[in-house]
Amino acid sequence: MDRLIHTALNSLANLRDTRVIQAQNLANQTVPGFRRDLTNEGDARFLKAMDVASARAFQTERGPHLFFAAPGLLNQTGEPMDVAIAEEGWFFVQPEGGEPALSRRGDLRLTADGRLQNGAGEAMLDPAMQPIELPPVRALIVDETGRILYEPQDGPPGQQVEGPLLATTIPDGVTLRKDPDGQIRAGDEPLPPPDQRARVLQGVLEGSNVNTMEELVSSIELQRAFELNLRMISSAKELDESGARLLRPPE
């Protein structure tokens, strides 16, 4: 009887992890370029006690959690500081205090000291993996290769200066994953080098690829599965009590 309870409790623990992932996805459904997290199916493992396999099975995680890499909806904003990658590809970013990573977020801004960052405060990198810095500008243009052309404030009107390049890549044959800090990297492998094959769009912002309706429907199914496991535990308790009453000697 205790095996049934162990199985139900293990299922409840897995459902809890899935609900945490769903909450993370729903909380980031409006974040530009966010990649939807996927659940880790894992493997079944049998508990061992004193070098003897037990009948109690537990589900364990199988490798790192993956994410849904399909592109999100592209929204025309007309803002010159909004950029997006058409179809495949990634920007290179430098999180504060972290290692370089890949990102699809393109809501750019210039800080007071001229550093080019996205909406999460991550520095945009050039092909040399250096943070991009610009002087005060009057206007800014980003072409399809990621090249930045800007009109400096202290220059004559209409003068365009060729600036740095937004580093991009299309990582062929590289398995990407999310690290514990939420950044997308290649696990233990180094990041793929910039190849500038991605097509950059200006005045366009990519949204999250989270499907809100799918997440809500899945949340309802998880709630039903949670209630079913609770009923299994309750039924196991009733069966155990009934068996104990049968074994009780007559008064």
The pLDDT tens digits of the residues spanning 81-102 come to: 999 999 899 999 999 988 999 9
SS3 sequence of 169-217? ECCCCCCCEECCCCCEECCCCCCCCCCCCCEEEECEEECCCCCHHHHHH
Using CA atoms, how far residue 184 sits from 45, 101, 117, 119, 158, in Å, is 29, 6, 17, 16, 39
User: Does position 182 have pLDDT exceeding 60, yes or no?
Assistant: yes
Give the pLDDT mean for 210-226: 83
- Residue boundaries of the structural domains of the chain: 2-67+212-247, 74-206
In three-state secondary structure terms, 136 is: coil
- The answer to whether the beta carbons of residues 127 and 194 sit under 8 Å apart is yes
Give the pLDDT mean for 150-177: 90
166 or 187, higher pLDDT: 166
Type of residue numbered 173? G
pLDDT in tens, 104-149: 999 999 999 999 999 999 999 999 999 999 999 999 999 999 999 9
User: Does position 171 have pLDDT exceeding 60, yes or no?
Assistant: yes
pLDDT in tens, 157-170: 888 899 999 999 99
194 or 46, higher pLDDT: 194
Q: Give the CA angle between residues 127, 132, 133 to the nearest 5°.
A: 150
